[in-house]
């Protein structure tokens, strides 16, 4: 990867991390992820999804074409739900050949590769996903940065929840 591109992505990541540390609400955290992740990851689209009991609600996206903003899916039938329930990042370089992908949900979608990282310490409450049109392997820098974004958001979720608990007691 070209050094100037890598430097730009790291600079954007630093700015996003700074913004996350200043976030005062879960909505702010989700908006920071939605609005900044695509440039940081060099992806064609990003989504942010929240867990709502046994469903996943896609609460935001920034993409070259519509994905799932506003839609809900059973947690067991989408990759974001899988990332949350398995508590790990899921990387699928080519959805056309991966058996975990529910093909019917992805037929009208433009991308081929995806990576989804869970957000939340313990039991994940959200996920951030990145999508690429290319079927080539997803670059390692993007995967590391996605993980960093999710971990930064997780820390802020915990901080905000802890503050709410302290105010309530």
Taking the chain (169 residues) in runs of 10, the rounded mean pLDDT of each run is: 87 96 91 93 94 94 92 93 96 89 76 94 90 87 95 88 74
CA–CA distance from 20 to each of 1, 88, 131 (Å)?
27, 21, 22
Residues 97 and 91: beta-carbon distance below 8 Å: no
Closest of 65, 26, 18 to residue 48, by C-alpha: 26
Note the helical H segments in the chain.
3-22, 26-41, 79-86, 103-106, 140-168
Residue range 130-158, pLDDT digits in tens: 999 987 788 999 999 999 999 999 988 88
What does pTM read for this prediction? Answer: 0.91
How many DSSP H helices and E strands does the chain contain? Answer: 5, 6
**Domains of the chain: total:** 1
- Domain of 19, CATH number, reads 3.30.450.40
What's the domain range around 34? 3-168
């Amino acid at each position: 990867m070209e050094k100037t591109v890598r430097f730009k992505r790291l600079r954007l990541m630093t700015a996003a991390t700074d913004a996350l540390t200043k976030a005062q609400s879960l909505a702010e955290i989700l908006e920071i992820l939605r609005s900044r992740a695509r440039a940081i990851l060099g992806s064609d689209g990003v989504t942010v999804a929240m867990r709502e009991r046994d469903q996943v609600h896609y609460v935001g996206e920034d993409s070259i074409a519509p994905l799932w903003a506003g839609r809900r899916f059973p947690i067991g039938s989408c990759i974001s739900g899988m990332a949350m329930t398995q508590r790990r990042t899921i990387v699928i370089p080519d959805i056309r050949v991966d058996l975990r992908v529910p093909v019917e949900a992805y037929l009208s979608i433009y991308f081929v590769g995806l990576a989804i990282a869970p957000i939340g310490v313990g039991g994940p409450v959200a996920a951030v996903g990145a999508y690429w049109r290319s079927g080539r392997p997803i670059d390692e820098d993007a995967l590391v940065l996605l993980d960093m974004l999710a971990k930064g958001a997780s820390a802020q979720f915990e901080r905000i929840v802890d503050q709410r608990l302290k105010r309530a007691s």
